[in-house]
């Protein structure tokens, strides 16, 4: 069981702003550790080491930004839209820089109309 003392030994304590543990879905009972440094989360799972992104960091980011507003209309966002869609390139699926908050209405709109997504990609919003 990891504790904060072990963590301070493993990571440079001065630079760690926060940490959490998440249980592995593929290995029940096993936990990954997420540490926050300079506003950004890092994870010790193999996926993160390989891609510099993983679903643990992705989920944490979404949770922290639960009050984000829609990029298009400014209403409370409940959906996260991918800039590069999973269909276009699945490896960007968990990339935080690849997601934008959208309300359900505008997310649906672009799912049904690829032109809307294209426009958003061009504008970088
Ligand atoms: Zn991870
Ligand atoms: Zn909207």
Look at the alpha carbons of 51, 122, 102, 71 in this order and tell me if their dihedral is positive or negative: positive
Helix (H) or strand (E) holding 44: none
* Nearest listed ligand to the Cα of residue 34: 1
Q: Residues lining ligand 2 (ion), CB within 5 A?
A: 70, 72-73, 103, 106
75/47 same-domain check: no
CB 11 within 8 A of CB 3: no
28 plus 45 within the same structural domain: yes
Q: Does residue 93 share a domain with residue 47?
A: no
DSSP state of 69: B
Whether residues 54 and 82 share a domain: the answer is: no
Which of 15, 48, 64 delimits the end of a domain?
64
Compute, in angstroms, the gap from residue 20 CA to the centroid of ligand 1.
11
Q: Which ligand lies nearest the alpha carbon of 73?
A: 2
Tens digits of residue pLDDT in 38-92:
889 999 999 999 989 999 999 999 999 999 999 999 999 999 999 888 888 888 8
**Quick one: pLDDT at residue 5?**
67
For ligand 2, the distance from its centroid to the CA atom of residue 80, given in whole angstroms, is 11
Nearest-angstrom CA–CA distance, 34 and 44 = 7
What value does the mean pLDDT of the chain take? 88
Q: What percent of the chain has pLDDT over 70?
A: 91
Q: What is the pLDDT of residue 120?
A: 83
Q: Which structural domain, as residue segments, surrounds residue 47?
A: 1-64
Q: Relative to the alpha carbon of 77, which ligand is closest?
A: 2
Cα 27 to ligand 2 centre (Å): 38
Residue 19 CA to ligand 1 centre (angstroms): 13
Instruction: Specify the pLDDT at position 62.
Output: 95
Query: What is the pTM assigned to this prediction?
Result: 0.81
14 confidence band (pLDDT: 50, 70, 90): confident
pLDDT at position 8 over 70: no
One domain for residues 12 and 60? yes
């Amino acid at each position: 069981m990891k504790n904060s003392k072990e963590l301070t030994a493993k990571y440079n304590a001065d630079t760690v702003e926060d940490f959490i543990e998440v249980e592995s879905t593929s290995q029940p009972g096993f936990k990954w550790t997420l540490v926050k440094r300079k506003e950004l989360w890092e994870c010790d799972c193999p996926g993160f080491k390989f891609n510099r992104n993983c679903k643990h960091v992705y989920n944490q980011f979404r949770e922290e930004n639960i009050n984000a507003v829609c990029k298009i209309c400014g209403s409370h966002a409940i959906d996260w839209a991918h800039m590069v869609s999973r269909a276009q390139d699945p490896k960007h699926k968990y990339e935080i820089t690849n997601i934008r908050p959208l309300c359900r209405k505008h997310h649906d709109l672009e799912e049904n109309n690829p032109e809307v997504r294209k426009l958003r990609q061009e504008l970088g919003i």
